[in-house]
A and B are shown apart, each in its own frame.
Chain A
Amino acid sequence: MGYTLSQLLAVIAFALLALAAVAQVVYLLRRERRLDPFSHYLLAAASALLLAGIVERSVRIRFVAVTNTFESLVFFAGVTALVLFLYRLLAGERLLPLVAFGGTVISLALLAIASSPAIPKEVLPPIPALQSYWLVLHVTLSFIGESFFIVSFVAAVLYLASRDEEQKKTLDRLTYTAIGIGYPIFTAGALIFGAVWAQAAWGSYWSWDPKETWALITWLVYTAFLHTRLVKKLRGRLSAILSIVGFAFTVFTFFGVNYLLSGLHSYG
């Protein structure tokens, strides 16, 4: 079996991300803990290659290529790298080097999973149920929202690990703002467009299928997170824990449900 162009691009992107991670580590180990000056350009290049791979597949199947697990993972990794790049570009120093590193590692992990032989990589046009632009909005917005959850997750882990009050404040703020951006996008993608698509395809907007239920569970946790911000006593530690649990559930909704629970979402 030959390799497809998108696979080749993903391999180069993987190398660039790995290089970025190495650069980040080298700078983290220096005493002054400064941001490295170039790893975000590697992230941007990796993201461009991954998304170009999606575009190439889309042209070949004449539909937006986010209709199987491989494509979903490549898209997710690409968007994550892009979000990290944009954070660095727009937020500058506020994106701490460790957060950038954590995000890069997760993006690498997504590509590593995509490379698994258990995940088919053929370029195939979608079956009838998937031929809907509601599905495209559902999938892309879900992953864009989840990319921000990655940032909030890494920031929350660092928050719990950190002893420096000033740094904790920055991390707490970053956890909150990342969820502040990710939450509306995830809600629109995973729940609203998911429901609209299900209504168009099967005539029922909600079926309590395990994946749907887990997406709702994830949403409930992030909703709880946002409301803990309104109660002074609940802020800080509990917020950080909810952010971590929320991301763990995001991951379980994406992977765990497919392999451990059965349901409608057998294609990704």
Chain B
Amino acid sequence: MQALYRFFKSVRLAVVLLLVITALSILATLIPQGQEATFYFQNYPPALARLVTALGFTSFFQSWLFLIPCALFFVNLAVCTVDRIAGRLRRGTRRRYGPDLIHVGLLVLIVGALFTTWGRREGTFYLGKGDSIDLPLGYRLRLLDFVDQRYEDGRPRDWVSTVEASRQDRVVVASYPIEVNRPLRLRGLRIYQTNFTREEVALLRDESGQLAAIHGGEGFRWENSLLVFTGIEAERAVFERWEGHTLAEELRRAPSQPIGQYTIIELSSRELTGLKAVKDPGFVPVIAALVLVAAGLSLTFIQKRKDKET
């Protein structure tokens, strides 16, 4: 037991582990992450592809190859921290709390990161003006307004989604403008502005009089080809006619004109805002950890300067 304690309180072990984690992380950034196994077999020689997939380099930062050195580092850091603090209490002399704060902060950070890994959930959704959506934890979000601001050269300037949030039929936030970098913070849930898109719909009628709505990007079969609705331009629906893998032609049709087996009844488009809801139980511990690390770094720096002066 004592030998194990001595092993883990070694600074030399810390340096070795830091360099091992560094070397493994470098390898991981050179190999594209999160691809299907076939990707690696197509791009690497078979032996290397087998090695990459077997060792878990395809999602390295969730693999044992990364987590085991991290776990060892966590124990190493915890033992060193306890040893430092206990040693100082025993001797009661040197007052260097900065590094201890940093070390405790890093331990909290690692725990917070585990909370995030196991508990973080996110979902993206699109809302038009007036639309509502039910979110986890009993929240309901309604889009009151949406603005897409542009600079003169057409680049995006700001996206603002004004929303109302309620929980169990009680309004908790009457009106809040969500912007990029300015999320809506609800208890247990945060809502972020991510992007915006335009929803284009063509209402079609077939020969039997049946109505069908088709959205931008969707298509249908007609004789030997595929007709894909790509959007609306100058009040005309734009369709691409595909024969197998080749684009045969582009068709533009106004309402009341035929397209394939259908007749176009109506074209409509509206703006949708893309929002993201995030639930992250690791958020609070991680922020606390970052504050601890920052405080520890400042304290270390100040104490070092003081030592130099005296």
Q: Is A220 in contact with B22, judged by CB distance below 8 angstroms?
A: yes
Q: Given the known inter-chain contacts A199-B283, A220-B18, please indicate yes or no for A234 contacting B12, CB distance below 8 A.
A: yes
Which residues from 1 to 51 on chain B have a C-beta closer than 8 Å to any C-beta of chain A? 11-12, 14-15, 18-19, 21-22, 25-26, 28-30, 33
Q: Is B293 in contact with A187, judged by CB distance below 8 angstroms?
A: yes
Nearest opposing residue in chain B for A206, CB measure = B113
- Indicate if B278 sits at the interface (CB-CB under 8 A): yes
Which residues of B have CB within 8 Å of A184?
Answer: 297-298, 300-301
Partner of A227, one of B15, B30, B120, B153: B15
Which residues of B have CB within 8 Å of A99?
Answer: none
Stretch of B166-174, B177-185, B207-215, B238-246 contacting A (4+ beta carbons < 8 Å): B177-185
- Indicate if A37 sits at the interface (CB-CB under 8 A): no
Nearest opposing residue in chain B for A213, CB measure = B29
Q: Is A201 in contact with B181, judged by CB distance below 8 angstroms?
A: yes
Q: Is A216 in contact with B25, judged by CB distance below 8 angstroms?
A: yes
A197 to chain B, nearest CB (A): 8
- Indicate if A55 sits at the interface (CB-CB under 8 A): no
Stretch of A1-9, A123-131, A160-168 contacting B (4+ beta carbons < 8 Å): A123-131
A206 to B290, CA, bound (A): 13
Dominant SS at the B interface? helix
Which residues from 108 to 157 on chain A have a C-beta closer than 8 Å to any C-beta of chain B? 124-125, 127-129, 131-132, 134
Which residues of B have CB within 8 Å of A210?
Answer: 29
Q: Is A127 in contact with B156, judged by CB distance below 8 angstroms?
A: yes
A93 to B304, CA, bound (A): 22
- Indicate if B250 sits at the interface (CB-CB under 8 A): no
Q: Given the known inter-chain contacts A203-B190, A220-B21, please indicate yes or no for A227 contacting B14, CB distance below 8 A.
A: yes
A214 to B22, CA, bound (A): 9
Q: How many residues of A contact B (CB 8 A)?
A: 43
A60 to chain B, nearest CB (A): 13
- Indicate if B158 sits at the interface (CB-CB under 8 A): yes
Q: How many residues of B contact A (CB 8 A)?
A: 49
Q: Is B301 in contact with A221, judged by CB distance below 8 angstroms?
A: no
A133 to chain B, nearest CB (A): 9
- Indicate if A208 sits at the interface (CB-CB under 8 A): yes
Q: Given the known inter-chain contacts A128-B157, A184-B301, A214-B29, please indicate yes or no for A227 contacting B18, CB distance below 8 A.
A: yes
Q: Given the known inter-chain contacts A128-B180, A195-B290, A220-B18, please indicate yes or no for A213 contacting B28, CB distance below 8 A.
A: yes
A256 to chain B, nearest CB (A): 10
Which residues from 111 to 167 on chain B have a C-beta closer than 8 Å to any C-beta of chain A? 113, 116, 120, 122, 151, 153, 155-159
10 further A-B pairs in the complex, CB-CB below 8 A; given A128-B181, A203-B190: A125-B151, A127-B157, A128-B156, A128-B157, A131-B181, A180-B304, A202-B194, A203-B192, A221-B22, A227-B14
Footprint of B on A, CB under 8 Å?
Answer: 124-125, 127-129, 131-132, 134, 180-181, 183-184, 187-188, 192, 195-197, 199-206, 208, 210, 213-214, 216-217, 220-221, 223-224, 227-228, 230-231, 234, 257, 261
Counting from the closest, the 9 A-B pairs by CB-CB distance are A128-B180, A184-B297, A203-B278, A132-B181, A224-B18, A203-B192, A220-B22, A210-B29, A192-B290
